[in-house]
Chains A and B, each alone.
Chain A
């Protein structure tokens, strides 16, 4: 099957007061139908901006270039009104903060139903009925009552379920979930991830899961893409990256995640701070924090090259990565 979404050479730049900042550089990836791709990185790594730009939701001072083929449509080439035909229907997005992502002054059912009215041409009555069905499907008890509620009358987990229902109403080909569980209680997080997995499998939707939490990735993602300083530094099958990471940054991330790192004797946080996008280091952006850096890393940026079947990394260091030895 052909990929459902193919992004090539995506660049996102912001014009600030004096400088221009590049949030995403030369990002390319593809998404198979129904698969789950985890996009991992610290805040400021450009992971959210990359996907917001596909949805046409970046700030006004941003310029976006590259191609993003959804089927045979280039999302980045569309004007706003054309883009509106696809977003919400074929490609949907869920945001980090369920508390503020629903409109406080509209009832839940109105916010759900309008999607179907807009994209599927339902009548308002049909749309409300379908919305209530979807609420039931995402595990909301008493869906009729909740549909008539205002968002502030629902709990955080409930609101995120509403967001999920809203995004899946049109059975999109691609669902982008930007840190969907970060704002939720730990107990609710696990339920929510199960829900994601089940629903996207049922509907055949490809899921992009943006997160900084590797613990979230482990159970759910087929493939993984690690981002640093606006670039992809390593991507490949989740298992490969977990058990055989090839980029020092990926290794660092694994070691600083508590339950992934239980193999290690202690928790090793990555030294230093994530770089400011305005002053990205020369050469490899990670070199100031890298324990394996070479002379070459200061001057030349490593390209993204395959290391194995479907596993790529952008790093000059080719030796064995053994953290404990070095640290």
Chain B
């Protein structure tokens, strides 16, 4: 188990470093800087500013210092845009928001998706199955940025039930629509994957054996079929996580929830390089961690993988 995790970490840590270096180099080669617009600023003042942000040092030294600060002090440095705020401040403000609706969406998509897939497979060719299949096919072509306006149109403009934006300190009514918009397409995909893998398992020889033993059907499904059927679903959870992190940009923009996606786009448009860099690295680290967790979960469920 520990050896397995160490082996995965041996990949994860270089990946993260590569990500940091690539992003950093991109920043350096980018034309212009956040201070370029201020032409009237005398050179002496500009030098001063550069010194403050450490931009006067050679690039490699900046990189080393940056990596050191990020890794050992979890310090992403000051924001280039907002002189009085650090990147950590910006992240600390946006991250809890993103985490709140992201976690709900992730839970909803995986739990409801799996439940729907299992029920559809067990009741194959029933109206419930057809409903589930229809839903999964339909939801494939409705990505979050299409889902969001449709939800607002229906629940805000027509029915007037829920607010079409804002965060309001995470009041439930503000959380519902972002969660649905973010979760729907993944929920559908998880349901589809669960259904087809469950069907395959239910038709397998070992399920026939379990039935021949006289086990009641709920026991056959829960004890014998569910675990092997979940394997493909678990390997899909990594991409779901990445997709949701990416999708949070859309959610933040459309619902003005003020999460980390909003901070990312704002800083991107303002060329606030230190903030972009910080957010990219943070989300990259989260993604890599999520993939690691998925790998461990997979190995834990599949006895054929030696830990």
Whether A and B touch directly in their complex, counting CB atoms under 8 A apart, is answered as: yes
User: Once the chains bind, are A102 and B212 in contact (CB under 8 Å)?
Assistant: no
Q: Interface with B: A92-100, A133-141, A214-222, A278-286, which one?
A: A92-100
Q: Is B89 an interface residue when CB atoms closer than 8 A count as contact?
A: no
Indicate whether A95 sits within 8 Å of B209 (C-beta atoms), given known contacts A84-B214, A103-B228. Answer: yes
Q: Interface with A: B151-159, B161-169, B266-274, B296-304, which one?
A: B296-304
Q: Is B40 an interface residue when CB atoms closer than 8 A count as contact?
A: no
User: Once the chains bind, are A88 and B215 in contact (CB under 8 Å)?
Assistant: yes
Q: Is B282 an interface residue when CB atoms closer than 8 A count as contact?
A: no
Please report the C-alpha to C-alpha distance between residue A118 and residue B224 in the assembled complex, in whole angstroms: 14
Please report the C-alpha to C-alpha distance between residue A152 and residue B303 in the assembled complex, in whole angstroms: 9
User: Once the chains bind, are A95 and B208 in contact (CB under 8 Å)?
Assistant: yes
Q: Contact flags (1/0) for A79-110 with B, using CB distance below 8 Å?
A: 01101111111001101010011111110000
Please report the C-alpha to C-alpha distance between residue A114 and residue B208 in the assembled complex, in whole angstroms: 15
What is the interface of chain B mostly: helix, strand, loop, or mixed?
Answer: helix
Please report the C-alpha to C-alpha distance between residue A56 and residue B214 in the assembled complex, in whole angstroms: 10
- Minimum distance in angstroms from B194 CB to a CB of chain A: 16
User: Once the chains bind, are A103 and B214 in contact (CB under 8 Å)?
Assistant: no
Indicate whether A55 sits within 8 Å of B217 (C-beta atoms), given known contacts A101-B205, A103-B206. Answer: no
Indicate whether A84 sits within 8 Å of B215 (C-beta atoms), given known contacts A95-B209, A103-B209, A104-B206. Answer: yes
- Measured CB to CB, the nearest residue on chain A to B213 is A88
Indicate whether A104 sits within 8 Å of B303 (C-beta atoms), given known contacts A80-B217, A87-B214, A114-B223. Answer: yes
Please report the C-alpha to C-alpha distance between residue A97 and residue B208 in the assembled complex, in whole angstroms: 12
- Minimum distance in angstroms from A172 CB to a CB of chain B: 10
Interface residues on A, range: 20 to 34
Q: Is A289 an interface residue when CB atoms closer than 8 A count as contact?
A: no
Indicate whether A102 sits within 8 Å of B213 (C-beta atoms), given known contacts A114-B223, A152-B303, A152-B304. Answer: no
Q: Is A13 an interface residue when CB atoms closer than 8 A count as contact?
A: no
- Minimum distance in angstroms from B204 CB to a CB of chain A: 7
Q: Give every chain B residue within 8 A of A84 (Cβ-Cβ).
A: 214-216
Q: Is B210 an interface residue when CB atoms closer than 8 A count as contact?
A: yes
Q: Which of A56, A80, A83, A105 has the most CB of B within 10 A?
A: A105
Please report the C-alpha to C-alpha distance between residue A102 and residue B212 in the assembled complex, in whole angstroms: 12
Please report the C-alpha to C-alpha distance between residue A114 and residue B204 in the assembled complex, in whole angstroms: 19
Q: Give every chain B residue within 8 A of A88 (Cβ-Cβ).
A: 212-215
Please report the C-alpha to C-alpha distance between residue A93 and residue B209 in the assembled complex, in whole angstroms: 8
Q: Is A115 an interface residue when CB atoms closer than 8 A count as contact?
A: yes
Q: Is A316 an interface residue when CB atoms closer than 8 A count as contact?
A: no
Q: Is A197 an interface residue when CB atoms closer than 8 A count as contact?
A: no
Which residue in B211, B228, B302 is a CB contact (below 8 Å) of A57?
A: B211
Which residue in A86, A105, A150, A152 is a CB contact (below 8 Å) of B214?
A: A86
Q: Is A293 an interface residue when CB atoms closer than 8 A count as contact?
A: no
Please report the C-alpha to C-alpha distance between residue A83 and residue B227 in the assembled complex, in whole angstroms: 25
Q: Is A119 an interface residue when CB atoms closer than 8 A count as contact?
A: yes
User: Once the chains bind, are B301 and A105 in contact (CB under 8 Å)?
Assistant: yes
Please report the C-alpha to C-alpha distance between residue A97 and residue B209 in the assembled complex, in whole angstroms: 11
User: Once the chains bind, are A101 and B208 in contact (CB under 8 Å)?
Assistant: yes
Q: Contact flags (1/0) for B195-227 with A, using CB distance below 8 Å?
A: 000000000111111111111110100011001
Indicate whether A103 sits within 8 Å of B224 (C-beta atoms), given known contacts A97-B205, A150-B303, A152-B304. Answer: yes
Q: Is A12 an interface residue when CB atoms closer than 8 A count as contact?
A: no
- Measured CB to CB, the nearest residue on chain B to A119 is B214
Indicate whether A114 sits within 8 Å of B303 (C-beta atoms), given known contacts A101-B209, A103-B206, A104-B206. Answer: no
Q: Is A166 an interface residue when CB atoms closer than 8 A count as contact?
A: yes
User: Once the chains bind, are B213 and A166 in contact (CB under 8 Å)?
Assistant: yes
Please report the C-alpha to C-alpha distance between residue A163 and residue B209 in the assembled complex, in whole angstroms: 9
- Measured CB to CB, the nearest residue on chain B to A169 is B213
Please report the C-alpha to C-alpha distance between residue A120 and residue B206 in the assembled complex, in whole angstroms: 22
Please report the C-alpha to C-alpha distance between residue A150 and residue B213 in the assembled complex, in whole angstroms: 19
User: Once the chains bind, are B214 and A104 in contact (CB under 8 Å)?
Assistant: no
Please report the C-alpha to C-alpha distance between residue A88 and residue B161 in the assembled complex, in whole angstroms: 55
Q: Give every chain B residue within 8 A of A57 (Cβ-Cβ).
A: 208, 211-212
Indicate whether A92 sits within 8 Å of B212 (C-beta atoms), given known contacts A104-B228, A105-B227. Answer: yes
- Minimum distance in angstroms from B128 CB to a CB of chain A: 16
- Minimum distance in angstroms from A145 CB to a CB of chain B: 15
Please report the C-alpha to C-alpha distance between residue A83 and residue B238 in the assembled complex, in whole angstroms: 42
- Minimum distance in angstroms from A62 CB to a CB of chain B: 14
Please report the C-alpha to C-alpha distance between residue A57 and residue B205 in the assembled complex, in whole angstroms: 11
- Minimum distance in angstroms from A268 CB to a CB of chain B: 35
Indicate whether A55 sits within 8 Å of B228 (C-beta atoms), given known contacts A104-B206, A114-B223, A152-B303. Answer: no
Indicate whether A105 sits within 8 Å of B215 (C-beta atoms), given known contacts A95-B205, A95-B208, A97-B205. Answer: no
- Minimum distance in angstroms from A70 CB to a CB of chain B: 13
B contact residues vs A (CB 8 Å cutoff): 124, 204-217, 219, 223-224, 227-228, 301-304
Known contacts A104-B304, A166-B209; 5 further A-B pairs (Cβ under 8 A): A88-B214, A103-B228, A106-B223, A150-B303, A152-B303
Give 22 pairs: A residue, B residue, CB < 8 Å, sorted on A. Answer: A55-B211, A57-B208, A60-B124, A83-B214, A84-B214, A84-B216, A88-B212, A88-B213, A95-B209, A100-B204, A100-B205, A101-B206, A104-B228, A104-B303, A105-B227, A106-B224, A106-B227, A114-B213, A114-B219, A150-B303, A150-B304, A166-B209
The list of the 7 closest CB pairs from A to B, nearest first, reads A88-B214, A88-B213, A100-B205, A150-B303, A103-B206, A84-B214, A87-B214
A contact residues vs B (CB 8 Å cutoff): 55-57, 60, 80-81, 83-89, 92-93, 95, 97, 100-106, 114-115, 118-119, 150, 152, 163, 166
